[in-house]
Structure 1
Amino acid sequence: MKKILNYIDGSYDESFSKDWLDNYNPSKGEVYSKIASSTKADVNSAYLAAKKAFPAWSNTTINERSTILSRIADLIDDHLDMLAEAETLDNGKPLNLAKSVDIPRASSNFRFFAHAITQFSSEAHESIGLNSMNFTLRQAIGVVGCISPWNLPLYLFTWKIAPALAAGNTVVAKPSEVTPMTAFLLGELCSKAGLPDGVLNIIHGTGPAAGQAIVEHPNIKAISFTGGTKTGESIARTAAPMFKKLSLELGGKNPNIIFADCNYEKMLSVTIKSSFANQGQICLCGSRIFVEKSI
């Protein structure tokens, strides 16, 4: 049975505990692989690898980082079929959705930020009459933690790690233990693209064990999390007293607003699609409908 291993310092390894979690194929309800069950020891190992890699990575040129991120995007495109099939097997979504949305968006995430970093500017402001100038200096902050959900596994995993890497940070990342396969496969593609060892480290395990260890690690400077509101509340409660930078994308309630002058047939099809695409598990899916009183 396939084993989903941690990716730390450019190598795949079991967790220190040697414990495993079951990974299910939801279409059959059967265990088809085993997931490394990580704890604080694994997270700290990943942190140390990221810390070691940070000085060199943060001092690479923008062009170097852009080139490597673009290569990762190209490799994701080259492995579209393999990644889409893995996403469908792991998540249960239709294969055509994984092929047309999830995996192409994952490569687009890397490509977007590969180009974006070449366009960043630093503002300068002259203090007239004082013979002085103020300017903005943007620098990488260090090791950051990224925790992603199960509804759009590789899509949202890459949406977090790509900008962090582009900015010169190194990363300790944890995908959902419900859908870890494509994040596991991504590690090898990153190595092939020339991403230096330790720049991206991927830890597998549960939220209370591995995820919480990332959040409460004293030297991980920032946390980006997408998931449930209650979990986000817990993360904020832990991270706020530590003055970590936080990005929390939590549960949303998005209304479809239907006006009397709409194209009725088009409205029906778009409303259904926007509410139930990806089984309705998208942050932007319509979970409420507001209808103008006249109709």
Structure 2
Amino acid sequence: VEKLANFINGKFIQPKSEEYIDVFEPATGQVYSKVPNSSSADINVAFQAANAAFPGWSQLTVTDRSKYLHKIAELLEYKLDDFAKYESRDTGKPVTLAQSVDIPRAITNFRFFAEYGPTFKFNSEFNSDQSENRVVHTPLGVVCCISPWNLPLYLFTWKIAPALLAGNTVLAKPSEITPYTAYKLGEICVDANLPA
């Protein structure tokens, strides 16, 4: 049974409590991995790391950030069949469905924002006689994302990709029921040399 780890600051770190939750494969009912039962202490470490990474990440140009998203998409596509098997084991859905829908959608999320970001333009002011409105293109900081169990990687990337493109760092929590593709996405981020 594989023990998963928290992905913090570009590294895989075991939970401080050393406590884990069993992850079951729906098709067999068997435990196939254990996910960290992370505590507030683990969350604090993750937040501090994301907060420390924010100044460097947010100062990259949108074009540079989009290059990282393209690289992540490229690596996900290269490992599409593996990720489809992981997603199937996590959720119980057919591998063919994960191959044809779920994982391609996750790849598309990274590609869409990588392509869209550098060309995105809209007015920074929307004024009328009665109001003045401004759009400020400034990263917010650490963005927290929670993903559901039913489309674990697809909905995870739908939140992470735009947050990263906008210059934010991300503290992301996958479902404890279906955490494996999120864990493997951490490996992709390492392979893509995503700054920590």
TM-score by length of 1: 0.63
C-alpha contact 1:4 1:33 (8 A) present in aligned 2: yes
Q: Which residue of 2 aligns with 1:112?
A: 112
Identity rate, percent: 52
C-alpha contact 2:69 2:114 (8 A) present in aligned 1: yes
> Where does structure 1 differ by over 4 angstroms across 4 or more consecutive aligned residues?
124-127
Q: Structure 1's 93 and 143: CA in aligned 2 closer, same or farther, altered over 3 A?
A: same
Report the alpha carbon displacement of residue 135 of structure 1 after superposing the two structures with TM.
6.3
C-alpha contact 1:122 1:135 (8 A) present in aligned 2: no
Which 5+ residue runs of structure 2 have no aligned equivalent? 128-132
Cα-to-partner distance string for 1:182-225 (whole Å, 9 max, x where unaligned): 0000001011112101xxxxxxxxxxxxxxxxxxxxxxxxxxxx
Structure 1 segment 117-266 matched on structure 2, within 5 A = 117-123=117-123, 136-197=135-196
Higher relative contact order (CA 8 A, sep 6+): 2
C-alpha contact 1:72 1:189 (8 A) present in aligned 2: yes
Q: Which residue of 1 aligns with 2:62?
A: 62
- C-alpha distance in 1 between matches for 2:126 and 2:160: 36
Q: Which residue of 2 aligns with 1:271?
A: none
1:17 matched to 2:23? The reply is no
- C-alpha distance in 2 between matches for 1:124 and 1:168: 18
1:73 matched to 2:73? The reply is yes
- C-alpha distance in 2 between matches for 1:148 and 1:125: 33
C-alpha contact 1:122 1:137 (8 A) present in aligned 2: no
Q: Which residue of 2 aligns with 1:37?
A: 37
TM-score by length of 2: 0.93
Q: Structure 1's 59 and 20: CA in aligned 2 closer, same or farther, altered over 3 A?
A: same
Q: Structure 1's 116 and 27: CA in aligned 2 closer, same or farther, altered over 3 A?
A: same
Q: Which has the larger radius of gyration?
A: 1
Q: Which residue of 2 aligns with 1:27?
A: 27
Number of residue pairs aligned between Structure 1 and Structure 2: 191
- C-alpha distance in 1 between matches for 2:161 and 2:126: 34
C-alpha contact 2:50 2:171 (8 A) present in aligned 1: yes
Q: Which residue of 1 aligns with 2:7?
A: 7
Report the alpha carbon displacement of residue 93 of structure 1 after superposing the two structures with TM.
0.2
**What is the RMSD of the two structures over their aligned residues, measured on CA atoms?**
1.6
C-alpha contact 1:47 1:172 (8 A) present in aligned 2: yes
Higher-helix-fraction structure: 2
- C-alpha distance in 2 between matches for 1:31 and 1:181: 12
C-alpha contact 2:146 2:174 (8 A) present in aligned 1: yes
